[in-house]
Amino acid sequence: MRVPARYEAWMRLALDEAAVAQQTGDLPIGAIVTDASGAVVGRGRNHRQADHDPTGHAEIAALREAARTLGTSRLDDCTLVTTLEPCVMCAGAALTARVARVVFGAWDAKAGAAGSVYDLLRDRRLPLHCEVIGGVLETECAAPLQQFFTRGTQSR
């Protein structure tokens, strides 16, 4: 499946955020949120280690900034773009925020909640769900994560 070029461009912005996270000793995961027009309204990067925050995931930070920017907790027409498949916490936050879609890069075979281990974002038993597009720039998104774990540093 050929993904729209805008998804790749957005993923590159998320990769920029991931690079900053790595500089603080955090897992190199980055995320952005775009509004319906494609404008970036939220950015985030992992900051668990830097801030000693167990909820310091890139997706949570990006969703929080987007909600502040837009002045609402309902991000109905927004897209969450993240370099790693969201975990259960981040998928739940995306659903609660009512994002229209989640676009991610690398699959997370250990804790992914967008189709690999769980499929929380598309679970029809839940009252909320969203479109999921996975594997966007997968190789570029996986590389910094593989390097991070090869060095034996902390987990997500």
Q: Which amino acid is at 65?
A: E
130 is in an annotated binding site: no
87 is in an annotated binding site: yes
Residue with tokens 């720039």: 137
How many other CB atoms are found less than 10 A from the CB of residue 98?
16
59 included as an active-site residue: yes
129 is in an annotated binding site: no
- DSSP-assigned states of every residue in 35-67: -TTS-EEEEEE--HHHHT-TT--HHHHHHHHHH
Catalytic residue among 17, 59, 65, 85: 59
Asked whether the beta carbons of 27 and 82 are under 8 A apart, the reply is: no
Q: Give binding residues as ranges.
A: 57, 87, 90
Could you list the residues known to form a binding site for Zn(2+), using ranges.
57, 87, 90
**Residues annotated as catalytic (active site), given as ranges:** 59
